[in-house]
């Protein structure tokens, strides 16, 4: 779980207008997990443990992002009773939002086909998997703004 200083940083980000949402407790890939476990076990272990901790820390996530985008329609149905929206990387549907990793796709492809949701795991200038540098992020935002892309947070979604 998160340390107190990490929670403080998240509250500061939230105070600056960023939306703090949920991405699972132990980062299990749902479809693979469900090969040997039940949906109820996934919900208990991957959703409620971490979600309860987030709520206890003062956050109220309304959206869930599946680790690796891995999900199933039957799990989606249950998760949509807990969250307003789900973020996936392979399809859209009612309250299911298409999300693209800006940390593992080219900036040009994101600008050419802007998704509804963009995500990144880390912003760092170090060479790292699933990371985007500050300069790349600033360049991406400048390109999207020039193309007329409108930014918002998930809690303001209409």
Domain boundaries along the sequence of the chain: 4-156
Could you say which DSSP state residue 48 is in?
I
Question: How far is C-alpha 120 from the geometric centre of its chain's CA atoms?
Answer: 8
What is the full per-residue pLDDT of the chain (158 aa) written as tens digits? 789 999 999 999 999 888 899 999 999 999 999 999 999 999 999 999 999 999 999 999 999 999 988 999 999 999 999 999 998 877 667 788 878 888 877 888 888 888 878 888 888 888 888 889 989 989 999 999 999 988 887 765 55
Q: What is the pLDDT of residue 92?
A: 65
- On whether the 4-156 domain is CATH 3.20.20.370, my answer is yes
Question: In terms of Cα–Cα distance, which of 139, 105, 98, 142 is closest to 120?
Answer: 105
Q: What is the pLDDT of residue 93?
A: 73
Q: What is the pLDDT of residue 151?
A: 83
Q: What is the pLDDT of residue 150?
A: 86
Q: Where are the beta strands (DSSP E) in the chain?
A: 63-65, 85-88, 96-101, 117-119, 122-123, 131-132
Q: What is the pLDDT of residue 47?
A: 98
Phi, psi of 28 (to 5 degrees): -75, 140
d(CA 154, CA 85) in angstroms, rounded, equals: 9
d(CA 91, CA 52) in angstroms, rounded, equals: 28
Of how many residues is the chain composed? 158
Could you say which DSSP state residue 126 is in?
S
Give the β-pairing of 63-65 and 85-88: parallel
């Amino acid at each position: 779980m998160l340390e107190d200083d990490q929670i403080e940083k998240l509250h500061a980000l939230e105070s600056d207008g960023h939306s703090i949402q949920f991405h699972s407790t132990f980062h299990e890939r749902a479809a693979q997990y469900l090969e040997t476990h039940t949906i109820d076990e996934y919900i208990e272990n991957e959703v409620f443990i971490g979600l309860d901790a987030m709520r206890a820390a003062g956050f109220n996530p309304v959206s869930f992002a599946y680790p690796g985008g891995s999900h199933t329609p039957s799990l989606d149905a249950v998760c949509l009773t807990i969250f307003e929206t789900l973020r996936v990387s392979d399809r859209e549907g009612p309250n299911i939002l298409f999300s693209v990793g800006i940390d593992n796709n080219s900036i040009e492809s994101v600008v050419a086909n802007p998704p509804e949701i963009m995500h990144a795991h880390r912003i760092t200038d170090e060479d790292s998997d699933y990371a985007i540098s500050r300069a790349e992020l600033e360049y991406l935002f400048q390109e999207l703004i020039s193309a007329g892309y409108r930014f918002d947070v998930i809690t303001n979604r209409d």
